[in-house]
A and B are shown apart, each in its own frame.
Chain A
Amino acid sequence: MKEITIETLDLVKNVAQDLITDWAMKFQGVRYADIRIEASEARSAVALDGNPVSACADWEISFGVRVIAGKKMLASGYYGRHLGTFDLKKLSSEIKAGISHARQRALANAQHKLDMKERFGSLAGSLCDTILAPVEIHRAAHQLPFLTDPRQVPLEKAISEVVSISKNIQQIKEVIANEVIFEGTIIRKLFLSSEGASIDFTFPITAFMPFIITRTEGEQRSVIYDCLGDFAGWEVMEGQNVYSKDARTFTLDLAAEAARLSQASILPSSEKEVVVVTDPHYNALLVHEIVGHPVELDRILKWETGYAGRSRLFKSFGHHQIGQQVASPLVTALSDPTLLGFGYLPFDDEGVRARKVVHINKGILTADFLNSRETAAVMQAMGMAVQPNGAMRARDPIFVPLVRMTNTVFAPGDRRPEDIIREVDEGYYFKGCSVPSISESRENFRISAREVWKIEKGELTTLYRWGSISADSETYLKSIDAVGNDFKLYPIPNCGKGQPMQTMHVGNGGPTMRGRAKVVGGDMRRGGAA
């Protein structure tokens, strides 16, 4: 029996195309159908304290179907499942079963919607047909180039690399434990719709994540981690990445940082706002949490209220901040899926061409939110000139796609980062992001950094650990008075959203920036007081 490979989708594509464009549409009440199919081949290796723990070389294939159907009202239904090698012989019947399930759900949902509308009158007046905003129909095949095919990397090489790196860092005195993870995958995604769309996209993704544990003063444990990754092959491990470091150097540098931090004092909290300078890595998490998520249109339209919350930028169609100043005029934030990074995509999981959108333009909020066909249709129905911009993605076709960031970033300015710091008489420099905690509509945040340096008369003097910036989001963004020219885009491998929860790789980044906020330290009773 042959292994599943990404080439298997050549066989699948034709079968699925016919089923979606012809077979599915023959059923009464069906208005639209689409199918996403994905095959992937992956290698991974994990090492712990210099020893191999596990490895994997495997493949996956799965599909997900959406059907919009109904008699008097339209609603959607979905179905997803993993496939196995033996399913290839009866692929047509598997997909037909999936389409049937999705259709039955759509019909049931539509009937319930109609019943609710009839029973509750004006209270259910907002219940409406499921509509997708019209889009240009694309037929395209795209393969992202890479140097070293992940499938050609011998598993033994991946295992020996992670083990060797793990052994290296275990020799550092302050390191009490470490875990090193490598994943190299090639993914091929198909999107086919009853409208005739056909998108075929193949890309590699490599991610390398070291976790380094040190013992701090007062016998506390401190964990530092980061991700080296890109939509590329093994060349990521050899230095072709945002850090321009090979995996070993990257990890050793991270371990050296962990060692320094283990000896550093806990940051004392400030009573009042102070000057804070944040580096591009910190700003990657900042833009993710207080710009990226609030501009996801499903969140804006309250779809996420029960989970991730709403958006501070939009309360209702009569009460929002579109066209208002929401940040300093020095701040521009945008999403650009054409940048090569974890948020790169030519077309999204609805077959929409993904395009660059500017969310905050010199401090002014635009109406260019990250959206989907359905959310764009809601905006259009309210008279807003919004077009789908290709931001729907699912981690796996078995999941329903969600509105997701692509490469969502703060745009660079024209200041040199060293000058931004040199101008500070007294303040703090936050370097490297750690853990976020954001309020329900993203109006307030507390985000910790890996390193916090005291700035005194323009120089970095004292190193602290366990420090965060805590601020109201809009107040903070309006305080930005310097934006650097040192733009960097970082890989974020695990943005969680949705129910069931799915993680997604996105790109986030920005330059060095300066603003004002309170800083919050750790619990001084736990040792390491300044």
Chain B
Amino acid sequence: MKKIANLRSAAVKGLEYLLTVNDVKEAEVFVAVNDRFVARLNYTSAISCNGVQELKSDYSSGVSVRAVFETKEGAKIGFGSEDKQTSLNAVKRALIKARKVAVADPHFKSLPRPIGSVPTLKNYHDPEIMKGNDGLLAGQAWRVLEGALKTFQEAGFTERDSLSVTGDITVLREQIAIASTHGIVDCDQSTILMAAITAMIEEKNSKGTGWATGTHFTQFDAEEAGRMAARSAIDTIGGQRIRSGKYSVIFGHQPVCALFTNLVIPCLSLSSAMLNTSPFKEKLDQLIMAEDISIYDDGSLPGRMASKRITCEGIPTGRTQLVDRGRLVGLLANSYFANWAGDSRFVPRNGFRFGGGGRWHRSEPGISATNLVIESANPVSEEKLCKKVGNGVFIGRLWYLYPINGSGSGDFTGTVVGDSYLIKDGKIANPLQPNTVRINGNWLELMKGNILGVSGEQKATLDWAIEEIVLAPQIAFADVELEEIDVLLA
């Protein structure tokens, strides 16, 4: 990684040069360095394996320029980037590329402008992680495995039980700097640690999940992620099947996260409203969910894995209220779509350039959630939530939860793959056998009219291939359609 002051200086010098270029009306220089280290685990007691299958990383650095050019045909906006170097020469080359591809986009109004707030996060990265230490990171991955194997061993399981531990630890180091003709000059650096672990006892048809997140090594307990996964696999031995039908269901933290990241968040983005794919395009100030529910995104929350000091447009992160007591009051936005919409209610606090293993200089800003918080006006304890359900199902992990008829319809489907239980007489009872249930529903209807209760406790939860975390409570729904499905090699 580099010294952050050097990146900032590179952005400023680049901008100083761009200010001297005749046909450039507005310009922005974005500098980024990213390193993503991933340790992928693969342990199977009954099949030859490596334990930690891969220790790998990908590194990218470079500079990009967004510029508005004055041409004979009018103003045109172009984007160009240059890999690896952040020097003035790299900025010059990026500008040449931007000019070559500039187009007259009538929806483009201006490059990002300051919004009058200041960043609140300071020095929130882990300097030890930022230095980089492969040996330390490799050790973390093996600690996960150690945690899982110790747990299995202590509980009396052996290799004959077809144990498996898979998943990964990911460590991200991100550095950015940005300077623009609209007075934005800033920089940011963050460190992110994530572990997502799955443990199975295949002979017992049970599966468990463990995870850990953090921004500092001191917060991150890799061994516990392994222990958690193994414990959950042990706890869900003896899973039963259920018949197809409608049930009262508690979505645990991960299913709530899956519901929101795959289905809800895409509809709460200003881009989908402007592009006419969201069912909420003309629903501002209208009731779209149960009146109990409020949702906001806040990239400035201290200590949270997805927090950033500034967006990739140089705008300070902060709280964006999306749903307030069931009413739609805001949408996630970047500058492009906020300017296009021309509505001051849309504040561009979510313009990020995720991709390429971090905050990527090759990407133009899209819209991403950061820390998405879901809360209830009347939260209850998890114990009370079970009582509200009475008899039903607790779903701990959902897989492949997709908008089966497109995001506009609200229809979804997915399968229940682990960490799940039956609820009997208001209490968690027998485990549910993993991979035996498909769930079908319509989330627009569920979130509006089927909520039985929401827990007070929220957990920072992540899902595969997404950038945001969801501070997810548990949510109980009535009348959820569950369908019995075939099981692997019964």
Query: Which residues from chain A sit less than 8 Å from chain B, CB to CB?
Result: 1, 48, 51-58, 60-61, 64, 75-87, 101, 104-106, 108-109, 112-113, 115-116, 120, 122-128, 130, 155, 159, 176-177, 179, 213, 215-216, 220-223, 301-307, 309-310, 312, 314-317, 319-321, 378, 381-382, 398-400, 434-441, 443-444, 446, 448, 465-466, 468, 470, 472-475, 496, 499-501, 520, 522-523, 525-526
* Beta-carbon contacts under 8 Å, B79-96 to A: 79-85, 87, 89-90, 93
Shortest beta-carbon distance, B352 to chain A, in Å? 16
B59 touches A381 (CB 8 A): no
Chain B residues with CB below 8 A from A316, complex form:
46-47, 162, 202
A439-B48 contact, Cβ under 8 Å, with A48-B107, A315-B489, A448-B405? no
A306 touches B43 (CB 8 A): no
A378-B489 contact, Cβ under 8 Å, with A51-B106, A52-B104, A439-B415? no
Chain A residues with CB below 8 A from B82, complex form:
84-85
Instruction: Determine if B438 is an interface residue (Cβ-Cβ < 8 Å).
Output: yes
A126 touches B45 (CB 8 A): yes
A439 touches B49 (CB 8 A): no
Kindly list the 3 A-B residue pairs having the minimum CB-CB distance in the complex, ordered from nearest: A84-B84, A221-B408, A306-B166
Chain A residues with CB below 8 A from B85, complex form:
84-86
Chain A residues with CB below 8 A from B277, complex form:
177, 213, 221, 223
B438 touches A500 (CB 8 A): no
B138 touches A108 (CB 8 A): yes
Instruction: Determine if B164 is an interface residue (Cβ-Cβ < 8 Å).
Output: yes
| Chain A: CB-nearest residue to B82 | A84
Shortest beta-carbon distance, B169 to chain A, in Å? 10
Shortest beta-carbon distance, A64 to chain B, in Å? 8
* Assembled-state Cα–Cα distance A167/B251 (Å): 44
Chain B residues with CB below 8 A from A124, complex form:
51, 149
* Assembled-state Cα–Cα distance A525/B278 (Å): 18
* Assembled-state Cα–Cα distance A520/B413 (Å): 11
A126 touches B158 (CB 8 A): no
* Assembled-state Cα–Cα distance A1/B406 (Å): 47
| Chain A: CB-nearest residue to B142 | A112
* Assembled-state Cα–Cα distance A101/B35 (Å): 13
Instruction: Determine if B483 is an interface residue (Cβ-Cβ < 8 Å).
Output: yes
B488 touches A310 (CB 8 A): yes
* Beta-carbon contacts under 8 Å, B96-140 to A: 97, 100-107, 134-135, 138-139
* Assembled-state Cα–Cα distance A434/B404 (Å): 8
| Chain A: CB-nearest residue to B405 | A466
Choose from B83, B97, B103, B135 the contact partner of A159 (Cβ within 8 Å).
B103
Chain B residues with CB below 8 A from A54, complex form:
79, 101, 103, 105, 364
Excluding A116-B149, A398-B59, 4 further A-B contacts by CB distance (< 8 Å) are: A223-B277, A302-B44, A302-B200, A434-B405
A113 touches B51 (CB 8 A): yes
B486 touches A525 (CB 8 A): no
B413 touches A437 (CB 8 A): yes
Instruction: Determine if B145 is an interface residue (Cβ-Cβ < 8 Å).
Output: yes
* Beta-carbon contacts under 8 Å, B461-475 to A: 464-465
| Chain B: CB-nearest residue to A503 | B465
Chain B residues with CB below 8 A from A116, complex form:
51, 142, 145-146, 149
A82 touches B81 (CB 8 A): no
Choose from A1, A80, A526 the contact partner of B409 (Cβ within 8 Å).
A526
Shortest beta-carbon distance, B472 to chain A, in Å? 20
Count of interface residues, chain B, beta-carbon cutoff 8 Å:
111
* Assembled-state Cα–Cα distance A254/B277 (Å): 17
B168 touches A499 (CB 8 A): yes
A466-B48 contact, Cβ under 8 Å, with A400-B56, A523-B442? no
Offer 22 A-B interface pairs, CB within 8 angstroms, sorted by A. A53-B103, A56-B101, A82-B61, A87-B84, A108-B55, A108-B138, A123-B163, A126-B47, A223-B406, A302-B164, A305-B166, A306-B196, A378-B47, A400-B54, A434-B404, A434-B405, A470-B438, A499-B38, A500-B465, A522-B409, A523-B410, A526-B442
B401 touches A437 (CB 8 A): yes
Instruction: Determine if B159 is an interface residue (Cβ-Cβ < 8 Å).
Output: yes
* Assembled-state Cα–Cα distance A127/B408 (Å): 48
Shortest beta-carbon distance, B401 to chain A, in Å? 7
* Assembled-state Cα–Cα distance A523/B443 (Å): 10
Chain A residues with CB below 8 A from B435, complex form:
439-441, 443
Choose from B44, B106, B483, B489 the contact partner of A320 (Cβ within 8 Å).
B489
Q: Is the interface of A mostly helix, strand, loop or mixed?
A: mixed
Instruction: Determine if B220 is an interface residue (Cβ-Cβ < 8 Å).
Output: no
Shortest beta-carbon distance, A462 to chain B, in Å? 18
A177 touches B83 (CB 8 A): no
Instruction: Determine if B197 is an interface residue (Cβ-Cβ < 8 Å).
Output: yes
B101 touches A470 (CB 8 A): no
Shortest beta-carbon distance, B430 to chain A, in Å? 20
Chain B residues with CB below 8 A from A443, complex form:
435, 485-488
* Assembled-state Cα–Cα distance A444/B198 (Å): 21
* Assembled-state Cα–Cα distance A223/B78 (Å): 28
Chain B residues with CB below 8 A from A79, complex form:
56-57
| Chain B: CB-nearest residue to A315 | B489
B402 touches A435 (CB 8 A): yes
B105 touches A81 (CB 8 A): no
* Assembled-state Cα–Cα distance A291/B57 (Å): 31
Chain A residues with CB below 8 A from B440, complex form:
446, 520
* Assembled-state Cα–Cα distance A78/B78 (Å): 36
Choose from B142, B149, B438, B464 the contact partner of A446 (Cβ within 8 Å).
B438
Shortest beta-carbon distance, A183 to chain B, in Å? 13
Chain A residues with CB below 8 A from B44, complex form:
126, 301-302
* Assembled-state Cα–Cα distance A320/B328 (Å): 51
Chain B residues with CB below 8 A from A470, complex form:
413, 438, 483
Shortest beta-carbon distance, A455 to chain B, in Å? 21
Instruction: Determine if B411 is an interface residue (Cβ-Cβ < 8 Å).
Output: yes
A222 touches B408 (CB 8 A): yes
B399 touches A440 (CB 8 A): yes
A101-B134 contact, Cβ under 8 Å, with A434-B406, A437-B401, A437-B404? yes
| Chain A: CB-nearest residue to B172 | A500
A176-B84 contact, Cβ under 8 Å, with A126-B44, A523-B411? no
| Chain A: CB-nearest residue to B102 | A55
0/1 string, B362-405, CB within 8 A of A gives 1: 00100000000000000000000000000000000001111111
Shortest beta-carbon distance, B399 to chain A, in Å? 6
* Assembled-state Cα–Cα distance A315/B164 (Å): 12
Chain A residues with CB below 8 A from B42, complex form:
302-303
* Assembled-state Cα–Cα distance A470/B437 (Å): 13
Chain A residues with CB below 8 A from B93, complex form:
1, 85
Shortest beta-carbon distance, B412 to chain A, in Å? 8
B404 touches A440 (CB 8 A): no
B276 touches A213 (CB 8 A): yes
A522 touches B54 (CB 8 A): no
A221 touches B406 (CB 8 A): yes
Shortest beta-carbon distance, A220 to chain B, in Å? 5
| Chain B: CB-nearest residue to A179 | B275
* Assembled-state Cα–Cα distance A443/B438 (Å): 11
A108 touches B135 (CB 8 A): yes
A446 touches B276 (CB 8 A): no
Choose from A51, A84, A213, A314 the contact partner of B83 (Cβ within 8 Å).
A84
Q: Which of B87, B405, B415 has the most CB of A within 10 A?
A: B405
B162 touches A155 (CB 8 A): no
* Assembled-state Cα–Cα distance A112/B47 (Å): 19
B56 touches A78 (CB 8 A): yes
Instruction: Determine if B457 is an interface residue (Cβ-Cβ < 8 Å).
Output: no
A499-B464 contact, Cβ under 8 Å, with A76-B54, A440-B399? yes
Chain B residues with CB below 8 A from A440, complex form:
399, 415, 417, 434-435, 488
A80-B56 contact, Cβ under 8 Å, with A51-B107, A108-B138, A315-B202? yes
Chain B residues with CB below 8 A from A115, complex form:
142
B401 touches A55 (CB 8 A): no
* Assembled-state Cα–Cα distance A526/B164 (Å): 43
| Chain B: CB-nearest residue to A224 | B406
A101-B57 contact, Cβ under 8 Å, with A1-B93, A177-B277? yes
Shortest beta-carbon distance, A427 to chain B, in Å? 21
* Assembled-state Cα–Cα distance A307/B196 (Å): 9
